[in-house]
């Protein structure tokens, strides 16, 4: 499946969920904006930050290895692209439930996943150019 087709499917799914929630009378506005800007931190948020750290950086070793090798060999960008797309939904969800850990770690993870995809395509092009020489 091509990346543009996968993106289209994901956006369609999000749109359907949004319409369904709207028709069902669910409010998709942020739950508590003041909680997001509060300077206090709860034990739940500490647990969320620890858990988010682990899941966010789980994909980081693949990116580091690809950058060290300067090669896309053995890497598949599809998982990183799909994760990056769905992490936008997680950020939105984080606003809905007013969860700073969900928002922060998913924004970081979006960056990691899209750098991974970008590096994959950069190294793939370099490898293709070298193979043609």
What is the DSSP code string of 6-33? Answer: HHHHHHHHHHHHHHHHHHTT---S-S-H
Q: Which residues contact 116 (CB under 8 A, 6 or more apart)?
A: 59, 62, 63, 66, 75, 77, 80
Q: Provide φ and ψ at 41, rounded to 5°.
A: -130, 135
What average pLDDT does the segment 107-114 reach? 90
pLDDT in tens, 23-63: 555 566 656 666 666 677 778 778 877 888 877 777 788 88
Domains of the chain: 30-132 (1.20.1280.290)
Select from 22, 17, 12, 35 the least CA-distant residue to 97. Answer: 35
Spatial separation of the C-alpha atoms in residues 100 and 37, rounded to whole Å: 9
């Amino acid at each position: 499946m091509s990346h543009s087709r996968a993106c289209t499917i994901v956006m369609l799914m999000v749109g359907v969920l949004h319409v369904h929630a709207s028709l069902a009378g669910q409010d998709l506005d942020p739950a508590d904006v003041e909680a997001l800007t509060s300077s206090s931190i709860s034990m739940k948020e500490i647990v969320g930050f620890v858990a988010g750290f682990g899941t966010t950086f789980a994909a980081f070793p693949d990116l580091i290895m690809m950058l060290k090798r300067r090669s896309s060999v053995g890497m598949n960008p599809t998982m990183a692209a799909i994760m990056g797309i769905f992490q936008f939904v997680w950020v939105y969800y984080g606003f809905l439930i007013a969860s700073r850990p969900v928002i922060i770690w998913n924004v970081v993870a979006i960056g990691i996943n899209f750098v991974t995809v970008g590096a994959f395509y950069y190294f793939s092009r370099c490898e293709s150019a070298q193979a043609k020489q």
